[in-house]
Amino acid sequence: MLTLLKKTPKVLTDIVLILILAGAAGFTVNYFSDNGIQMNEKNEKPNSDLYISKEHAIKAFKQNKAVFVDARYEKYFNQSHIKGALNIPADQMDDKAIDFLNSYPDKNQLFIVYCDGEECDLSLKVKNFLNELGYNNLKILINGWGVWQKNNYPTDKN
């Protein structure tokens, strides 16, 4: 083993050591950190109870039965968003928690969370966060912002 190590070019042992150090540091810190992220995060499948169709979303919007939650970053929300929506950017969720809890004491209120693009998972993160705050009537509108713009539904600017 030692002979093998001696025969290996120094550059290779350096690289392997740096890779091991980086891996050990990264995954250990991530595991213990409050800001750590989940490994192998599985996306929940469409058509489950978690998602709401475009038709149901616009119906809830017109009847004022849902609060729309925009999960995009603040800058994009300020440019334009679904009319009446509030912004909980996925990168500032913790900062918004207390205000949100005070503003919406009813844990059965319907919230429709959205972001931009079919692949966008910010809304899933925000939905999971609201779940942790105790809200239990949460739906995701996939590609909500895209759907809204495409159909010329009402929008707002800050």
Partner 1 sequence: MDKDFKDYTVFTARILLGLIFTGAALTKILDTASFAEIIKNYQILPEYLVNETAVFLPYLEYITGIMLLSGIFLKGAAVISFGLLTAFTGSLIFNMSRGLNISCGCFTSVAEEVTNIHYIYYLARDFVFIYIAFYFTKNIFSKNKNQN
Can you point out the beta strands (E) in the chain?
A: 66-70, 81-82, 86-87, 110-114, 138-141, 155-156
User: In terms of CB distance, is 2 or 11 closer to partner 1?
Assistant: 11
Rounded Cα gap, residues 95 and 72, in angstroms: 15
- Taking the complex as a whole, the smallest distance from the CB of residue 120 to partner 1 amounts, in Å, to 9
Residues in contact with partner 1 by CB under 8 A are: 10-19, 21-23, 25-27, 29-30, 33, 35-41, 43, 73, 75, 90-91, 119, 121-122, 125
Q: Kindly tell me which of 112 and 126 has the beta carbon lying closer to partner 1.
A: 126
CA distance 51 to 151: 19
Tell me how far, at minimum, the Cβ of 84 lies from partner 1, in Å: 25
Report the distance separating Cα 3 and Cα 53, nearest Å.
Answer: 64
- Find the shortest distance in angstroms from Cβ 44 to partner 1: 13
Cβ nearer to partner 1, comparing 61 with 145: 145
DSSP structure string for 15-57: HHHHHHHHHHHHHHHHHH-TT---TTPPPPPTTSTTB--HHHH
Considering the complex, what minimum distance in angstroms separates the CB of residue 66 from partner 1?
25
- Give whichever of 23 and 154 is closer to partner 1, judged by the CB atom: 23
